[in-house]
Amino acid sequence: MKTKILMVCLGNICRSPLAEAILKSKLDPNYFFVDSAGTGDWHVNHAPDPRSVAIAKKNGLDISGQRGRQFRASDFKDFDHIFVMDNSNLKEVLLLTENKEEREKVTLILNALFENENVDVPDPYYGSADGFDQVFKLLDEACTVISKKLSNQLFQ
Ligand code: 4NP
């Protein structure tokens, strides 16, 4: 069975679609499934923000076919690892957990880079294109670390 990873942000149109595509590009699809969702419902069925589509394209990834969906409690059963982009997402997701097993699946994605520091991926929605560039770089670095850890677990 594949290891399933879910990327979560607020709208599921800026950060988590990038995180989904970046991690997917670093993992073997025979062993891993990666998806994304938002804690909010404003962008359900919407395409990603054009600025995220553009920065992905600049880096060789096509996220234009993704569509927004809202995070749901059943995701705790369907996914093995849930990476949230910021502390607000963390709070929202943890509110829906029912037990320790579910809570242990949830991690702030940048803790892969800055262990135990609980750093946010900045929300670029109301900012400039520069913000998307910075978000892409942070997610790319974090996903490199995460993909190595996950791939190593396959052989343990
Ligand atoms: P995301 O960014 O959580 O990275 O997808 C946002 C997208 C939309 C909104 C907020 C953040 N919004 O308020 O609609």
- Mean predicted confidence (pLDDT) in 65-75: 98
Residue nearest to atom 14 of ligand 1 (CA): 11
Is the CB of 42 inside a 6 Å radius of any atom of ligand 1?
yes
**How many other β-carbons are positioned within 10 Å of the β-carbon of residue 55?**
23
Helix axes of 50-58 and 15-26: crossing angle, nearest 10 degrees: 30
Please list the helix, strand and coil fractions of the chain in percent, rounded to the nearest 5, in that order. Answer: 45, 15, 45
pLDDT of 129 reads: 85
What residue type is assigned to position 113 of the chain? Answer: L
- Mean predicted confidence (pLDDT) in 121-140: 95
Residue nearest to atom 7 of ligand 1 (CA): 11
How high does pLDDT run on average in the chain? 97
Is the CB of 15 inside a 6 Å radius of any atom of ligand 1?
yes
Strand-pair category, 3-9 with 81-84 = parallel
Binned at pLDDT 50, 70 and 90, residue 24 comes out as very high
Binned at pLDDT 50, 70 and 90, residue 154 comes out as confident
Point out the ligand 1 atom lying closest to the alpha carbon of residue 9: 3
Residue nearest to atom 9 of ligand 1 (CA): 11
| Res. 156: pLDDT tops 90 | no
| Res. 52: pLDDT tops 90 | yes
User: Tokens in use for 68?
Assistant: 């927004």
- Mean predicted confidence (pLDDT) in 37-57: 98
- Mean predicted confidence (pLDDT) in 77-106: 98
What is the percent of the chain where pLDDT is above 70?
99
Active site residue 9: yes
How far apart (Å, rounded) are the C-alpha atoms in residues 156 and 10? Answer: 34
Give the distance (Å) from ligand 1 centre to CA of residue 31.
30
3-state SS assignment for residue 35: strand
pLDDT of 155 reads: 75
Helix (H) or strand (E) holding 136: helix 129-153
| Res. 22: pLDDT tops 90 | yes
- Among 45, 93, 123, 134, which is best to mutate for testing ligand 1, by the most ligand atoms less than 8 A from CB? 123
How far apart (Å, rounded) are the C-alpha atoms in residues 92 and 1? Answer: 29
Give the distance (Å) from ligand 1 centre to CA of residue 2.
29
| Res. 111: pLDDT tops 80 | yes
Residue nearest to atom 11 of ligand 1 (CA): 11
